[in-house]
A and B are shown apart, each in its own frame.
Chain A
Amino acid sequence: MYLLFILLFPLLIGSALLIFKPKNAFVISLAASLIELAATAFVLQEASLSPVSFSAPWVAEAGLSFSLYVDGISGVLIGLCALLVPFIVATTANTDRANNSQFQGLMLAMQTALMGAFLAKDAFLFYFFFEASLLPIYFLAAIYGGENKNAITFKFFVYTLFGSLFFLIALVFVYLQTPGEFHSADMDVLYQTAKGLSADQQGYLFAAFFLAFAIKMPVFPFHTWQPDTYTVAPAQGTMLLSGIMLKMGTYGVIRLVLPMFPVGVATWGLTASVLSVIGVIYGSIIAIQQKDAKRLLAYSSFAHVGLMSAGILSGSIEGIQGALYQMLSHGINIVGLFFVIEIIERRTKSREIAQLGGITQFSYPLTVTFVILSLGSVALPLTNGFIGEFLLLKSVFDQNLTLGIIAGITIILGAVYTLRLIQKSMFGNVSRITSDFADLTGAEKAVLIPLSALVILGGIFPSTVLGFSEPAVQQLIQWFK
């Protein structure tokens, strides 16, 4: 029942905000997300002892059940989601947005969809939330977005929907092979059933599943929607997209692709890894050349997720553990970084890197937190990014030396674009538009300081999370070893 609560509570509050349009939507939304965080922490506490599950009949005549499940893997993801949403909500403090209750309501509705995808034990339930999450984010981006939002958000919607349709066909195909009169889409049953498929079938199905997740993450060459959408969406929409939503893709690969199609992964996994690593390098190189800070972060996110994808596809414990840890760290870092850019944009009305400079003279706290978050993103030792990237790179090395070496360049390239961003914006000469830069407000500090603290804590105490997820990863690996 707790699982049902953490799934539906945000939606409930979110729809109330959408319908009744209260004046103090921000307070309600923040309180709701904090309650959600507390409830999720409680669930995770339970799940650290043994997996927690909930099941109810749903579409019984099609063998689908409304079953939710929290183990070490989904636990990390729902923890990430519940942790980030309060921060994302808090970044809207003191902004006077027209129709704020609608904005907050859509964010909370989005949280339910994301939670649902991570909680689902039934593959169709996963698909259901995977797709449903598109609606709130689409409206967030299309209503509150920037220039040329209609065309860009529409492309995003159709592109991702198109990919998931192949996922749906492939899923239906496996589902119909399951035994029993009504079939079943329970993930364990699907794992078992997929074992009986021929190598060819596994290959095709792998391709169909991976396509959907590759578009969501995105992996090269399916990333063309991503930079535009990240740039055009309002800051909170971008945070939701990059901080949490792209993890649905990586989570999908861990949860569905690896255990269902071991043969498919063995045949095509390397190709997919190569694509992912191309994305790592390509994204980093393009990020170096960006003029727009938000777009730079979009490409950096593209590069990071490529490494996660390559690590997961290696199929080793280090790869999966590293990816889980990196999902968490990347979520924290990228939300913080996007918020820094948002703060700069609010004050200077610009995201052009060339026009910024010397901000450190006006806001020391912003500089410190920005540097810490960036170092986390660069994967410096003692930051959270280091743990994840280290494990991921190790898994790629073990799988294929050449690929590992190429992927390793990402650390250097990442340092180049991130440090360049810090240098050009924070240090150097004060520019015309930064000359009256106001220091951080209390609300802004309340977001950036805890996030920076998490970056360092995550670098020092990784075992809390890794120990939590390990049993589940061990168990998952049995399906394809």
Chain B
Amino acid sequence: MTAIIALSLLGILNLFLGFWLSRKTIQAATLLFLVGSMALTAMDWNHEMLWYGHMFHTTNTSVSFSLIIQLAAFMVVSFSKGFGIDEEHTHPAEYYAILLFSVVGAILMVSFDHLIMFFVGLEILSVAMYVLTGSDKRNLRSNEAALKYFLMGSFATGILLFGITLVYGATRSFYLANIALAITNTPPESTPIFLSIGLLLILIGFLFKISAAPFHFWTPDVYEGAPTIFTMFMSTVVKAASFAALYQLLNGPFGSMYGTWVYPIYYISMLTLLVGNITAVYQQSLKRMLAYSSISHAGYMLLTVSAKQVTTPSTILYYSLSYTLATIVAFGVVMLVAEYQTGRTEKPENISSFEGLAKQNPGLAFCFTIAMLSLAGIPLTAGFWGKFFVFSDIFNRHVYYPVILAIVMSAVGVYYYFKGIIAIYFKEGDIERIELPGLVKFAMWACTLGTLLLGVYPSIVKNLF
């Protein structure tokens, strides 16, 4: 809990540091801040507590999700050398500060016990994301992406807030525990209809944030338009936080309304899997393909949320972690290669501009391959176990058809993830050696080794709780 206070203050400190410290020092300071806040977060392990008038709840689940979020932020900061924006116009201190603030929002989202707290967290995160998406202000696409994200995002927020209001009207409380009580104590025939409507509106708001079909149309444009470093942040932190929050809402207060929300979730996750995977096959730009891949992963995670097993929180945790590690490397490599290819080819983010990467950059190619294999769910990588836990959780509910679709779709996934691998290893190209700063190297290898370690020995994360 102290982590959110620390992070907010350190974010402000970061802004001031920008006046007199160099870019490199600020980066180091931000990393240090994140390590500190992770330590503070970890101190709450096994100390379940309620804070701020019972609005904020630290449990082992929330602590581990907070740690994943901060880990992702740490990796993103390590990858950021100038944020992929030209030197003159960057103000690194501001971006680092906004990153820290958004982490605060994400932590609120995974630890709330009160709908208003949840809403505040979501907004802190979202507003920060709108700003970061548009941070490359000389780039038209970045501007377009920010505007699109902002318009669509605020619309979704409105719907979500409306949903929260209706739920409040029906249950007379914002506290999760009281909502749960009110729902179970009301006999089904006298439950007001607007409770279900409220729940569905909240769901729609969520589905927008996690970019589930048919609310995903903003995702490819925004992911592609935003500077890659922030796409990396968006696709990991926002996803992990939203899924943790969604799980907490659906299985906490609305657990007894299982019958109302489970079928929409099934159908939407199936639609998401179909749209995400099949559209990804046709992409020429690797960055856009990763955007669709992130949509498809939302489909798998949605399925897990609906499983409602005792093992479900750890499955979501495991999946988020494996997805985060792989996605960071994938976007990281896209960022590095695209930076190298800018000016050399027309479309630096296209798959064709990655051809022949492995010749001079075996390390980069290896990390990218492991990331792709993990996203595709091939054994030896964390992604395999992620999918395995998801499927076995759903199977435990004796629900078969979404799983069969999910499995077929993961075979489709193999197809497009391998396009990247084939391009870097087996196509001719003339990419010279790309020099990597030490921090980037460290982050890349840490994520890759983490993916492999989790792939061989998943228990380290899976039996945390």
On A, residues with C-beta under 8 Å from B are 57-62, 127-129, 131-132, 134-135, 139, 142-143, 149-150, 154, 157-158, 161-162, 165-166, 168-169, 172-173, 175-176
Contacts and interface: CB of A to CB of B under 8 A. Distances in A.
Contact of B414 (A62, A127, A158, A169): A158
8 residue pairs, one from A and one from B, having the closest CB atoms: A131-B379, A61-B463, A162-B411, A165-B407, A132-B379, A128-B379, A132-B380, A150-B426
B448 to A, nearest CB: 13
Interface in B378-417: 378-380, 384-385, 388-389, 391-392, 395-396, 403-404, 407-408, 410-411, 414-415
7 contacts: A59-B459, A135-B373, A161-B411, A161-B414, A169-B404, A172-B388, A176-B395
Contacts of A169: 391, 403-404, 407
Contacts of A165: 407-408, 410-411
A61 B415 contact: no
B311 A61 contact: yes
B17 interface: no
A143 B362 CA distance: 14
B462 interface: yes
B442 interface: no
A61 B411 contact: no
Contacts of B391: 168-169, 172
B176 interface: no
B463 A175 contact: no
B462 A61 contact: yes
Q: Which among A57, A165, A176 has the greatest number of chain B C-beta atoms within 10 A?
A: A165
A62 B392 contact: yes
A161 B391 CA distance: 17
B18 interface: no
B457 interface: yes
A384 to B, nearest CB: 34
B147 interface: no
Contacts of A149: 426
Nearest to B379: A131
B425 interface: yes
B414 A175 contact: no
Contact of A150 (B378, B408, B422): B422
Contact of A173 (B314, B395, B410): B395
Interface in B342-387: 373, 378-380, 384-385
A142 B395 contact: no
B411 A158 contact: yes
Given A149-B426, A172-B391, A60 B463 contact: yes
B255 interface: no
B418 interface: yes
A473 to B, nearest CB: 29
A424 to B, nearest CB: 34
Nearest to A142: B426
Given A131-B379, A168-B388, 12 more contacts: A57-B459, A59-B385, A61-B459, A62-B389, A128-B384, A129-B379, A142-B425, A143-B425, A154-B418, A157-B414, A165-B411, A168-B407
B82 interface: no
A154 B425 CA distance: 13
Given A59-B459, A131-B378, A135-B380, A143 B426 contact: yes
B450 interface: no
B244 to A, nearest CB: 20
Q: Which among A60, A168, A176 has the greatest number of chain B C-beta atoms within 10 A?
A: A168
A184 to B, nearest CB: 13
B458 interface: yes
Nearest to B410: A165
A237 to B, nearest CB: 14
A158 B415 contact: yes
A428 to B, nearest CB: 39
Contacts of A157: 414, 418
Nearest to B464: A61
B134 to A, nearest CB: 39
B308 to A, nearest CB: 15
Nearest to B415: A158
A59 B463 CA distance: 9
A479 B426 CA distance: 47
A173 B380 CA distance: 22
A135 B457 CA distance: 19
A135 to B, nearest CB: 7
B459 A58 contact: yes
Nearest to B358: A143
Contacts of A158: 411, 414-415, 418
Q: Which among B385, B389, B392 has the greatest number of chain A C-beta atoms within 10 A?
A: B392
Contacts of A175: 392
A172 B392 contact: yes
A176 B392 contact: yes
Nearest to A162: B411
A149 B427 CA distance: 11
B459 A142 contact: no
B425 A176 contact: no
Given A60-B463, A172-B395, A176-B392, A135 B422 contact: no
Contacts of B395: 172-173, 176
Contact of B458 (A59, A132, A162): A59
A176 B396 contact: yes
B15 to A, nearest CB: 44
Contacts of A134: 378
A163 to B, nearest CB: 9
A161 B415 CA distance: 10
A190 B463 CA distance: 24
Given A60-B463, A172-B392, A127 B379 contact: yes
A465 B391 CA distance: 41
A60 B459 CA distance: 7
A142 B457 CA distance: 29
B410 to A, nearest CB: 7
Interface string B435-465: 0000000000000000000000111001100
